[in-house]
């Protein structure tokens, strides 16, 4: 009986723990260009967020009135990639997204989202390339 309780408690703790435990997932702050990284070092990261830029970190994507929290991360076995489940929010709207995050180089990641984008919109959604901003602390 004690073993059963211990197992149930262990399963409950594992289920309630954040799913961000994927081995060797990304670290640091990423922006959509190396120029933005230089600007973040010169100004502040918050200044870039306030002007409409999206920041990528191990916790998700963050922008002005927009964020995607990474809730589950799974490492691919045969490529430097992860499948990521996210819960995204913008004013008045919450939606799920599934992304692939692929390490292209030590300083570049490519994100691809399953979220469809309206062709008439200027928005790129969650897809795109992001570059590591060394010396910039996460928000």
Looking at residue 61, its pLDDT comes to 96
Looking at residue 119, its pLDDT comes to 53
pLDDT along the chain (139 residues), means of 10: 40 40 83 96 92 94 94 96 96 94 97 75 73 90
d(CA 69, CA 88) in angstroms, rounded, equals: 6
d(CA 1, CA 107) in angstroms, rounded, equals: 51
The dihedral region occupied by 60, where left means phi > 0, alpha psi between -120 and 50, and beta the remainder, is left
d(CA 82, CA 23) in angstroms, rounded, equals: 10
Residue 112 buriedness (CB in 10 A; 0-12 / 13-18 / 19+): middle
pTM of the entire structure? 0.79
Place of tokens 């691809």: 112
Residue 103 buriedness (CB in 10 A; 0-12 / 13-18 / 19+): middle
């Amino acid at each position: 009986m004690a073993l059963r309780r211990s197992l149930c408690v262990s399963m409950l703790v594992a289920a309630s723990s954040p799913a961000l435990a994927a081995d060797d997932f990304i670290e640091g702050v990423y922006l959509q260009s190396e120029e933005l990284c230089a600007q973040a070092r010169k100004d502040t990261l918050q200044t870039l967020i306030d002007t409409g830029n999206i920041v990528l970190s191990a916790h998700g994507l963050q922008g002005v009135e927009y964020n995607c929290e990474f809730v589950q991360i799974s490492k691919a076995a045969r490529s430097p990639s992860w499948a990521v489940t996210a819960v995204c929010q913008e004013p008045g709207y919450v939606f799920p997204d599934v992304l692939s995050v692929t390490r292209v180089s030590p300083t570049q990641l490519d994100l691809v989202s399953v979220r469809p984008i309206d062709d008439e919109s200027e928005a790129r959604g969650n897809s795109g390339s992001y570059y590591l901003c060394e010396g910039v602390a996460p928000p």
